[in-house]
Each structure stands twice: as structure tokens, then as C-alpha cells.
Amino acid sequence: MYWTDWGDHPKIERAGMDGLERHVIVRSNLTWPNGLAIDYSEMRLYWVDAGTKSIEYADLDGQNRKVSNLLCCISALKGEGPICQELCSL
């Protein structure tokens, strides 16, 4: 199972369904992580950070963390942010 902690030190954790093998998998550059989703076909964990207004993802163990370009593409469609327009090839 996966969950987020929004406390003084926000993080994303995982553990077995019995609560054992608890591990922090993401602990840096988080503000208010929520909205977890697992993509089993790609073996990725996605989350929304309401504080940074970003969608991010990583491997299920927290490795290979990346920021999704989805919000950037939405901004580009609205005509905001030239960097976003380049990333989305608009």
C-alpha cells in the first residue's frame, strides 16, 4: 500500500498490506502530495502536489522521479509559458 504524509516533513511511503516493510520512497521537494495513482502496466506511481501545482511520477520504489508535462501542456494550450510551448511542440 502507498500513502502520503502532509506533516512538517511531507513524504510518500509504502508498506506491505500487513504494515510491515515500511519505507519512505519520496521525501524531497514535496509540499502537499496527494492524489496517488498506480500505473501497473508502466510500474509507476503518480501523485499530485497541491502545493507545487505539479503532477509527478516515479518507479514504484521512488526511483526515476519526473515531473509530468501534462500541466505544462495545459498552460501552453492557454498561451502561457513559452517553455511549456516548446516542451509540448505547440
Question: Across the strands, what pairs with 54?
Answer: 49
The CATH number of residue 40's host domain is 2.40.10
What's residue 60's pLDDT?
97
pTM for this model (two decimals): 0.76
Distance CA 12, CA 38 (A): 13
Range of the domain at 54: 2-87
Number of other CB atoms surrounding residue 74 within 10 Å: 12
Mean of pLDDT values over 8-13:
96
Structural domain count, the chain? 1
Q: Which of helix, strand or coil describes residue 14?
A: strand
Q: Between these two residues, 17 and 50, which has the higher pLDDT value?
A: 17
pLDDT tens for each residue of 40-66: 999 999 998 888 878 889 999 999 998
Q: Report the percent of the chain where pLDDT is more than 90.
A: 58
Cell match 502530495: residue?
33
